[in-house]
Structure 1
Amino acid sequence: MTRLHVRNRGAFAYVDGELADGEGDKLMRLHDGGTASRWGFALYYASSDRYEDSLLPTGGFAGAPEEALDCACPLHLAAQDI
């Protein structure tokens, strides 16, 4: 990903990624967890066009935004290689 686009809607932050060729991809949704370092995490699934609550590698449904990006970006990039 070369660029991230974040849009807010209510208590949610929707994060999209942009590749070097300008192609965009929905990545994830974050839900305000009450602190700047704790956010709920939902991956975007293109197959169902939905965001679904997902576990972070640490095993929780909430964590730092950096953890969520570290989880979502490789999954979406790997899916594009298929």
Structure 2
Amino acid sequence: MPAIPASTKISLAQRLALHAKQRRPQLTGVHVRYHGQFGYVEGELAGGERLPLMRLRYGGSAHRWGLAIHTPSTGGYEAAIWFTGSPQEALDLVCDLYIASTDP
């Protein structure tokens, strides 16, 4: 798989940050770091704590990513081969799993 282009890295980080701002008020930030063909996504809570959420695997375009969900019990990532969706939908999925909703 080719390396992630710089423009795709910027786009992914911006899309996830905007989505979190609009849909995930419990997050004060979203941080993405890159290694090879992977983007590692962390969510930042109000107190500054960062939670590893997921690893996205670049699929050759800005809209094709594989998902691996962070597993706190092992500290690793579990591939979600059943998942199909956008990075924003992946963020919603892992937030629903790991971050308490602020909705009543």
| Interval containing the TM-score (normalised by the shorter chain) | 0.7 to 0.9
- Give secondary structure in 1 for the equivalent of 2:99: helix
How far has the Cα of 1:62 moved from its partner?
A: 4.1
Give the length in aligned residue pairs.
74
Please identify runs of 4+ aligned residues in structure 1 that moved more than 6 A.
Answer: none
Which protein is richer in strand relative to its size?
1
Highest RCO, 1 vs 2 (Cα 8 Å, sep ≥ 6) = 2
TM-align CA RMSD:
1.3
Which protein is richer in helix relative to its size?
2
Unaligned runs of 5+ residues in structure 1 are none
1:48 partnered with 2:70 = no
1:76 partnered with 2:98 = yes
Structure 2 length as normaliser, TM-score?
0.66
1:24 partnered with 2:46 = no
State the distance in 1 between where 2:45 and 2:29 align: 7
Please identify the structure whose Cα radius of gyration is greater: 2
1:8 partnered with 2:8 = no
% same residue: 51
Structure 1 length as normaliser, TM-score?
0.82
